[in-house]
Amino acid sequence: MTRTPLDASQRALAVGLVLSVTLVAFETTAVITALPTITDALHGDSLYGATLAAYMLADLVALVWAGEQADLHGVRRPFLACITIFVVGLIVAATAQTMALVLIGRLLQGAGSGGFAPLSFVAVRRAFPVDRQATMYAYLSAGWVIPSLLAPVIAGVVVDRAGWRWVFIGIIPIAIFVALLTGRAMAHLAPSEDVIDRGPSRLPKAFQAAIGVGVLAVGLQNHLLPVAIAVAVAGIAIAVPALRFMLPPGVFRARRGLAAIVAVRFLATATFLGVDSFVPLAADRLHGARPIVQGLVISGAAVTWTVGQAVTARRSDRIQPGPSAMLGFGFLLLGIATVAPVLRPNWPLPLVFVAWCIGGFGMGILFNPTTVASMTYADDGREGEISSQIHLADSLGFGMMGVVGGATVAFAGRTSLTLQGAIAINFAIAAGCALLGMVASRGVRSRT
């Protein structure tokens, strides 16, 4: 079947959007590679998980704000605001003298980069013909491939030879270049002209949810069990009502349709991060691997993630999102099972690399079909709202696993629980999320 040709402005926008994703991917992958070294240098093991979570909390608020702004004013203005905040965060982290300041820098980076993904989805929906959209979503994910292959190597060399601060400094000129190029390509994208009763802003609820998740993270870090339980319960009580308001009705029951799609994306990203963020830590602390190796161990998963997306994008008109999501979770479970031996100090790290490629392929198999299915629920003028909901699920999945997983690592640092035990718990939680995801996948449907 012949696809609709793209004009010059659409091709320029496609390049700009992919470069925007590549920027975030490079920064994320490089920082994950450098984070064990940063925590070593600043004596910040107790803030390892909190640093991951801080990025998500800011991301959570930013993606809601960006989605609303895109529906009201178009994508260019919020995009430029986001990339400015992102650069400020890089500067703060690069000059930090304590782990707490690195955390603040990551908070700002999350506030900036959080808007990129929903703004990209809105741009694809408004600027590209329907028969090109699935491929564009795959291209956006493909923006992770080169950073995932090169960023661990580059970050490792930079950390070894120049110091971890240059991981942040080196990204700044790239961000400025992307801002100039992509901002220009977005200039012609106007907001929807449809008059819609949008209801109240979801931004206050986004702040409430972020505060609740932050309180939960603080509670789980407390070394006094009664205090930890009380604070964690308070955080849940704050966050859940806000999330109910922001997410589709029935999401906690994975009700058929958009709610099930959002639930599946939350569970998928939680599954993936439960392994991906802690394999480099295991490589560092249990295997004594250098920073470059710590990042390379997980880099193959980004390639196979993109391969999975390419496979589903080519057959988007024939693939059903529900069965595809269930199959993806199956691959994730297999990946977790074959990665788990990394907890043995004598287990070969090349085998871990191969094993986690399986998990990455599973993410690709489920990611593109659920993205395409979710955007079928986006009426004109509400693309930003639906896009922010799906990315909110992604952000929560990554962030909640960072909170819980970081808490287990911190707990191991002050009790008799070993680091192997803490990471094993995280792997088990990830497997549990994958099993729940297989159940939730039964409700995944495109809008008819």
Using one digit for the tens of pLDDT, what is the confidence trace for 315-325? 766 778 899 99
Query: CA-CA distance, 402 to 398, in Å (whole number)?
Result: 6
Q: Is residue 180 part of a domain?
A: yes
Query: CA-CA distance, 337 to 54, in Å (whole number)?
Result: 29
Residue 194 has pLDDT above 60, yes or no: no
Q: Please name the residue that has the structure tokens 């008799």.
A: 416
- Widest CA span in the chain: 64
Using one digit for the tens of pLDDT, what is the confidence trace for 280-313? 888 888 898 876 687 778 878 878 888 888 888 7
Domain match, 242 and 118 both: no
What pLDDT score was predicted for residue 316?
66
Domain match, 240 and 257 both: no
Query: CA-CA distance, 222 to 14, in Å (whole number)?
Result: 46
251-278 mean pLDDT: 92
- Cβ-based neighbours of 300, under 8 Å, separated by 6 or more: 353, 354, 356, 357, 360
The H or E element containing residue 232 is: helix 225-246
Question: In degrees to the nearest 10, what's the CA dihedral of 400, 402, 403, 407?
Answer: 140
Residue 187 has pLDDT above 90, yes or no: no
At 255, is the pLDDT very low, low, confident or very high (cuts 50, 70, 90)?
very high
Domain match, 332 and 381 both: yes
Q: Is residue 1 part of a domain?
A: no
What pLDDT score was predicted for residue 413?
67
At 333, is the pLDDT very low, low, confident or very high (cuts 50, 70, 90)?
very high
Token pair recorded at residue 393: 């699920």
246-254 mean pLDDT: 89
At 142, is the pLDDT very low, low, confident or very high (cuts 50, 70, 90)?
confident
The percentage of the chain sitting over the pLDDT mark of 90, rounded to a whole number, equals 27
The letter for the amino acid at 88 is: V
- Cβ-based neighbours of 285, under 8 Å, separated by 6 or more: 36, 419
Domain match, 356 and 262 both: yes
Q: Which of these ranges, 124-133, 248-257, 258-267, has the smallest mean pLDDT?
A: 124-133
Token pair recorded at residue 435: 């099993």
SS3 labels along the chain: CCCCCCCHHHHHHHHHHHHHHHHHHHHHHHHHHHHHHHHHHHCCHHHHHHHHHHHHHHHHHHHHHHHHHHHHHCCHHHHHHHHHHHHHHHHHHHCCCCHHHHHHHHHHHHHHHCCHHHHHHHHHHHHCCHHHHHHHHHHHHHCCHHHHHHHHHHHHHHHHHCCCHHHHHCCHHHHHHHHHHHHHHCCCCCCCCCCCCCCCCCHHHHHHHHHHHHHHHHHHHCCCHHHHHHHHHHHHHHHHHHHHHHCCCCHHHCCCCHHHHHHHHHHHHHHHHHHHCCHHHHHHHCCCCCHHHHHHHHHHHHHHHHHHHHHHHHCCCCCCHHHHHHHHHHHHHHHHHHHHHHHCCCCCHHHHHHHHHHHHHHHHHHHHHHHHHHHCCCCCCCHHHHHHHHHHHHHHHHHHHHHHHHHHHHHHHHCCCCHHHHHHHHHHHHHHHHHHHHHHHHHCCCCC
CB neighbourhood size of 416 (10 A): 6
Domain match, 128 and 261 both: yes
Question: Helix, strand, coil shares of the chain as percentages rounded to 5?
Answer: 80, 0, 20
Calculate the average pLDDT of the chain.
Answer: 85
What pLDDT score was predicted for residue 73?
79
Q: Which of these ranges, 193-197, 329-333, 405-409, 426-430, has the smallest mean pLDDT?
A: 193-197
Domain match, 414 and 379 both: yes
What pLDDT score was predicted for residue 49?
67
Domain match, 398 and 265 both: yes
Domain match, 135 and 205 both: no
Question: In degrees to the nearest 10, what's the CA dihedral of 104, 294, 298, 300?
Answer: 130
At 314, is the pLDDT very low, low, confident or very high (cuts 50, 70, 90)?
confident
Q: Please name the residue that has the structure tokens 């390419």.
A: 310
Fill in the DSSP letter of residue 238: H
Q: Is residue 401 part of a domain?
A: yes
- Cβ-based neighbours of 75, under 8 Å, separated by 6 or more: 119, 122, 123, 126, 186, 189
Residue 351 has pLDDT above 80, yes or no: yes
Q: Is residue 406 part of a domain?
A: yes
Q: Tell me which range, 16-30, 81-95, 163-177, 392-406, is most confidently predicted by mean pLDDT.
A: 81-95
Number of domains within the chain: 2
212-220 mean pLDDT: 83
Angle at 298 between CA 413 and CA 124, to 5 degrees: 115
Angle at 167 between CA 162 and CA 169, to 5 degrees: 95
193-212 mean pLDDT: 76
Q: Is residue 309 part of a domain?
A: yes
CATH of the domain at 296: 1.20.1250.20
At 191, is the pLDDT very low, low, confident or very high (cuts 50, 70, 90)?
low
Q: Which of these ranges, 143-157, 161-175, 204-218, has the smallest mean pLDDT?
A: 143-157
Q: Is residue 331 part of a domain?
A: yes
Q: Is residue 79 part of a domain?
A: yes
Domain match, 401 and 376 both: yes
Domain match, 75 and 94 both: yes
Query: CA-CA distance, 173 to 298, in Å (whole number)?
Result: 26
Residue 197 has pLDDT above 60, yes or no: no
CA-wise closest residue to 374 among 362, 383, 365, 363: 383
Residue 382 has pLDDT above 90, yes or no: no
Domain end residue (candidates: 224, 246, 268): 246
What pLDDT score was predicted for residue 198?
60
Q: Is residue 3 part of a domain?
A: no
- Which residues span the domain enclosing 208? 201-246
373-390 mean pLDDT: 79
Domain match, 362 and 395 both: yes
Domain match, 105 and 230 both: no
